[in-house]
Structures are given as C-alpha cells and as structure tokens.
Amino acid sequence: MADDAMVVNFDISPDAFTIVTPKFKGGRWKDRLKAKKAVEHRARKRAIEAAEFNIARTTPTPTSETAITAVRRKRSDEKPKQKPAPQAVKTGEFVSSLWTGNPEAAGAVTDDKGEEGKVNEPSNAPLADGSATFTTLGLSPILANHLTTKLSLKAPTAIQRSAIPELISTDSDAFIQAETGSGKTLTYLLPIVNRIMSLSLSPPSAQQDGESAAKQTRHSGLYAIVLAPTRELCRQISTVLSTLIHCKNGPHWIVPGAVSGGEKKKSEKARLRKGINILVATPGRLLDHLENTESLDVSRVRWVVLDEGDRLMELGFEETIGSILGILEKKSKLPKKREEAAGWKSEAGLPRRRVSMLCSATMKTNVQRLGDISLKEALYIKAEKGYDNAGGSSKGGEEGFQAPAQLKQSYVVVPAKLRLVGLNAILKRALIRQTASPKIIVFFSCSDSVDFHFQVFSRLLEDGSDIKPPKPTPKPTKRSEGSEKDSAKPQAPETKLDPSGKPAKQPLPSNNPAIAKAPHLHPTALLHKLHGSLPQPIRTSTLHSFAHTTSPSLLFCTDVAARGLDLPNVDLIIQFDPPFSRDDHLHRIGRTARAGRAGRAIMFLLPGPEEGYVDAVLKKCGNPIRADMDEVFKKGFGGEGVNRKKREWEDKATEWQLEVERWVLADKAVMDLSKKAWGSHIRAYTTHVASEKGMFNHKALHYGHLAKSFGIRDAPGDIRVPGGGATSGGKGRGNTTGSAATATSAKAGAKRSLDAEDLPSDAGLEAVRKMRKIAFSMQMKKGMASEFNIG
C-alpha cells in the first residue's frame, strides 16, 4: 500500500547539501587550511547553484528552501551582511556561475617579489655618457640648437648616433633597424632637413667666383617623399617634420605636406599645386596622385623613405610601392652623368642620385624582399648597443630584436568566463595608482570587440547617473572651477562637486562619438576607441584627445594603433586579445617605455594551449612575470579591504558580471552588438599565423564560456559574417562546423574555410592576408570592410 505522503521518484533529505571536507595531510598548516577552505567554498557554490536550478525548474518546496538557507548560513561565522537582491531567473533558465567549470592553469605563479625593486637600464634612452651631441653628429648649429632648446632633446639616442653621420656624409641607400621608441623618425628626418637647409647657403665654388646663392622657395621642387603604412603614422611624421623646419634663424621657405586616405583629394591637389618640398604620404593615395595629379612634380626627388617596412609589406603594399618607384624613376630628371651636373650647381648639397631608406624594427623575409625592390648596395645601420646578436640575416635580426629593457612585462592566465571581469579588475586597479593622469591602451583583435567593450565601460550607472559618487565626502575646496594647476601633481585627481555635494558633470572635450566617460572605472576617466571602421576625422580627434587630455584616459583599439605612433606618457599596455604574430606583440608593447621612460605591459591568456605562448614568444622578448589571477581579482574588486575575509571579492565580481548581463538582456541593440563581437572574435582567432596554430586553435575554444565574457548567457547558434553568410555553431568544445567561419572569394564567389592552409607559408603575411580576404569579401557584399582593421 502506498503512503499518501510519499514523495514520488526522489526526495531531498536534510543532509543532501551537507559539505564533506576531505582530510588533508602533510605540508604546512597554512597550505592545508587554504586547500580546505577552497574545497568548502566550491562545495557551497555547487550546492547553491543546484538549489537555484531546482527553484527555477520546479515549484519551491519547504525542504529546498531550508537547504538553501542552511548552506548560506554556513558560508561565514560573521554576522550576516546586507547583500543585493539576486537576479530574477526565468523559469527553466540556468545562469552559469563564474567560478565553476573553469579549466585549471598548468603553470605556476611567478614570484615577483625580487623583480619589483629591480630597475633595468633603459635601452632606448638618449645617451647619457656625453659621447655624442647633435652638433658632433654633423648637424648644423641652427638645427642642433633648435633640438636642444625648443624640443628639449639633450642628446641623441644610440641609433641616431650610428645613422645620422652616415646619412649626412654619404649618398648610399640605407636599411635602418632599431627597437621601438628609439627615435627612428628623427633618425631619417634630421639628415634630410639638414641637407635641404644647406641650399640656403651659397656653395663654396659660388663664393669663390663671387656668385650669390640661388633663392630657394616652396616652388623649388619636391625633394623628399616619406611613405607610412597608416594614416595616423603619416600625420604624426608630418607633425614632427613641421616642428623641425621652424627653426629660429633658419630658412623658412621649406614647406612640408601630407596626403593620406580619408582626406579630400581636392584640398590635397590645391596644396600640391602651391608647392611642397617634403611630402609624407600613404602608398595608395600617393600612387593615386602620381597617376592623376599633373601639378605633382617628382622630377627632383632625392630621398624616398619607407617607414615601418614590415607593416607596409603585411598590408599588401608591395605592388603599390613597386609602381611608385617605377614612376619616380621614369619621371626623374636628375643628372646621370658628371657633365650633366653642371646645371645643378644650386643644389650641390643634395645627393646626386635618388637615395632610398628603409626603416623597420625587424628584418623578416618580407622586409628583405622590400629591400630588394627599393634598395641598391645599401648600408645596414643598427644601434651600437642592444643589438650584439643582430646580424645581416633574417634570423639574426629577429633574434636580436628585444623589447625595451626597462619595460616590465607580465601575463595572467584567465579562464574564458572570467575575461570580462578580469579586464575590469585590472583597469580599476591601474586607475587608482598614484599617478596624476594615467594613460592605458587596451588591444583587441577586431573592431566589433572594441565597440562592445567601449559600450560596456561607458554605460550609465544603474541609478541613471554617469559618475560615481565619491568615497568619503571631501571638504569643499576654494579652487576655481576651471583651475587645472594641480593636475600634474602625483595624486589622485580631485572630484569637483556641484552645490548639492555630488560630483559635477564635466563636458566632454568634443562631440566625438568615440570618446565617452567611464563612470564604472573612475569618476573623471575618459574612454576612447580607435579602429579602421571609424571615419578619419573621428580617428584624428580621438588620438588628439587621448594624447593631450589631463584626465585619466583609456584607449580601446585594434592593431591600427600598434605601429609607429608616439603617444606620450603611456603607462600600461593591456593585450586583452593576444596578437596575431610575434612582431605584432613587439610593436604593441612598444607604445610604452619609449625614449627611456618606464612602462608596463600585461597579456591575457587562456588556460591550456595558450600558455605555450609564454615560452614561444614572451620569454624571447624579455623576462615576463606571471601574475596571480586571485590577486588580480582581489585588488580590483577588494579595494582597500584586500586583507578581509577571503573570497568576498568573488561576490562583487559576480554581481558586476550579472549587472552587465542584465544590461545586455534589456536592450536588443546591445544584445546584437555582443553577439556580433562574439562571432568576430572567433573569426579573428582563426587568423593566427601557422606557427602558432597549436597554441591558438579555435577548435579548443569553449563557445559557451566565451559568450559569457561578452555578457551572453547562452552561446549564439551561429557565427554570422556581416553582409551575409553563416555557419552553424556549437556551444561546446570540438565543434569544428561552427568554428570555421566562411568567406566569399572576390572573383569566383566560392565559399572557403578559414582553416584552409593554401596561403603562402610566410608567417608574417599569412594572418593579415586571411583578414584582407575576409574584409574584401565583406566589402563586395556591402558589409563592414574593415572588421579586422588592417589599414
């Protein structure tokens, strides 16, 4: 006979959630206590999740409620504290915990206590031994005095000491190799400007014959062309050039100019028509003007400089540069014989032939191929110190190139589910350091990921405000509203208050949509984003704001900002997504620790195969320190109470993650953006070079865990390519169907997998060529042509 009170199928007994702690033996008692508490914590988490899962799927029963209460009471012997109300869970929905189901990291945390106080001698700083000055390098006194007094450059760097005398005294082609931040731009600009300035003086032969110097003007001709791979670098070189030519007591007839993509051709043609003596350009736009602008006279060009040669080749400019050099050779009117030079007495100080200079931080195969195209019997110039292992071969050049010695590199192994809260923790910790206005750059793999994270950290607070209230209410100050005299002191920025005692809202520097406040990180921080999909005026304004703002500032960007840009006083580089090649890593971290200044860089890696990146790349570029993930979260979410009860910061991190997930669920546009960023991230992950496929294999990604780092509770069912085309995706590991994103060929329109190994084996070109194929196919389908921001 059946009892009416019998529970059918199963019953949850009072001891169902009893925590059984294993016995630990051996070792120190602190280690045993630590292991015991960790086991108890995980058991409590699993019990709570199991109970909440049953509540969501079934009607609550007194037995389950009692079990939940009992488990929560056992969490701590302290008095219960007020906690935010748990998120409402839909019937049948299960919210994954951040702290369960994560793979364990294989390596051990590095003991960095001895490294904190160790300061390496800067390897790219100006020479402090007094062995050389700008005057002793052969520069004119006017230009040397201008560098010292107006530009505050007291001494040259090692590469400048090696290269400038050679470039001034000889007319040979040159290959210049030096590490990032060592002053390569001035290395090739100073000899060019110095020799053009000498045209204002009469040559010795003319002085003996009683002749006067020919008057030089902006119409005298175009003497030098500098090619740069990106618009931002082109603009930066042009700015440096403008500061050089405006010397006191120097010639003022020299006119620089710049042409680059994204600008109006009509205004560029007008400037070229008026006359330019030194031109800075991107390859595509220069070729366009050479073919279509009649007023651009290149018959007297004496110098052609190819800056960031490795990047020029990676972006596929080999053909374009070959066409440019062919046109310059065809239109050149320079004297080829000694008797023809008689009519060029007024330009006796310039090279008798066209000189080509190639500048690159590395000497890869593609750079050597560019050298074969542009250089003839070139000099190989390198810094005298820091390159003892560098040689003339490709292998020797790559092995000899290192990151700046004073740069402190580290990495942290973070599971996929914890990536977003990990980024928040590191950013919050970095912004509370005792720095007047810290500058931080965060690198992502694709533009969609930049857009999503920009929205996450610039969203409004839950109370509708965009600025957090201050900690203890400070006393009102007598400082005026607009005073910024104390902004340079090494203290945390003071929050300005309105009459009600709340932080006063300060207007943004402009109406730039790529600049916003970051109230979740710091009351006065400005957040910037930069990628190739933004219009050029927005990109220019964003870089200017990031470089010149006095507030704490952050820049979320793709690799479009990784090469050549000299952004002043960058304190920290965060590589949230690992780079696509070793060279990209070196250039990314080269945005800090420039010209002898200190800097820090940290990289996020996933547990498992990605940890092999440490031995394969990081240790070959320096001495990286592994940060403890628990310490990162404790310092980021624990605030001042980092020594209080253990694991309390986990609750704060969980609540922050749930807040982001609620924000994503509440807005369809945000949900679409997060799904788009998730898919673009996976597609970008497949484009790592072949030599790194074992470490970055998209088949090993856990799509569900990765989706949580984008604020999505369930992994989307497919990976969609903007503009059309989709593949079905899985939620777990090993689903190869969803991992291989499809791309459309520009000619035949046939679909092909990103896993196809039919591209050239050159590791330096493989990743970018894949991205360019995808981007071009998107353009053909009217999608986002610059998803991976390669130009």
Buried b / exposed e along 214-227 (16+ C-beta atoms within 10 A): eebebebbbbbbbb
How does pLDDT run across 40-79, given as a tens digit for each residue?
888 877 776 665 545 444 444 444 444 444 434 444 444 4
The burial class, CB within 10 Å (0-12 / 13-18 / 19+), for 697 is middle
Domain boundaries, the chain: 1-95, 159-196+217-336+345-396, 405-469+504-650, 669-780
Considering only residues 221 and 21, tell me which one the structure prediction assigns the higher pLDDT. 221
CATH architecture of 405-469+504-650: 3-Layer(aba) Sandwich (3.40)
pLDDT band at 566 (very low <50, low <70, confident <90, very high): confident
Name the residue with higher pLDDT: 119 or 431. Answer: 431
Does residue 139 surpass a pLDDT of 50? yes
More confident residue, 671 or 37: 671
* C-alpha closest to that of 175 among 386, 14, 391: 391
For 51, 199, 222, 299, 345, the CA distances from 340, given in Å and listed in that order, are 93, 19, 20, 15, 11
pLDDT at 321: 94
Summarised one tens digit per residue, pLDDT across range 362-386 is 777 778 888 888 998 889 998 765 4
Is residue 516 predicted with pLDDT exceeding 80?
yes
| pLDDT at 769 > cutoff 60 | no
pLDDT tops 90 at residue 740: no
Helix axes 648-666, 419-431, angle to 10 degrees: 110
**Average pLDDT of the residues in 238-256:** 88
Q: What is the mean pLDDT of residues 563-569?
A: 82
In this predicted structure, the answer to whether residue 391 has a pLDDT above a threshold of 70 is: no
Q: Are 159-196+217-336+345-396 and 405-469+504-650 equal in CATH topology?
A: yes
Could you count the other beta carbons within 10 Å of the beta carbon of residue 619?
A: 12
What is the per-residue burial (b if ≥16 Cβ within 10 Å, else e) of 19-41? eeeeeeeeeeeeeeeeeeeeeeb
Q: Could you tell me the pLDDT band of residue 218, with boundaries at 50, 70 and 90?
A: confident
How do residues 413-426 score in pLDDT, each as one tens digit?
999 999 999 999 99
Topology given in CATH for the domain delimited by 159-196+217-336+345-396: Rossmann fold (3.40.50)
Percent of the chain residues topping a pLDDT of 90: 35
**CA pair distance 306, 313, nearest whole angstrom:** 11
The reply to whether the predicted model has a pTM over 0.85 is no
pLDDT, greater one: 722 or 549: 549
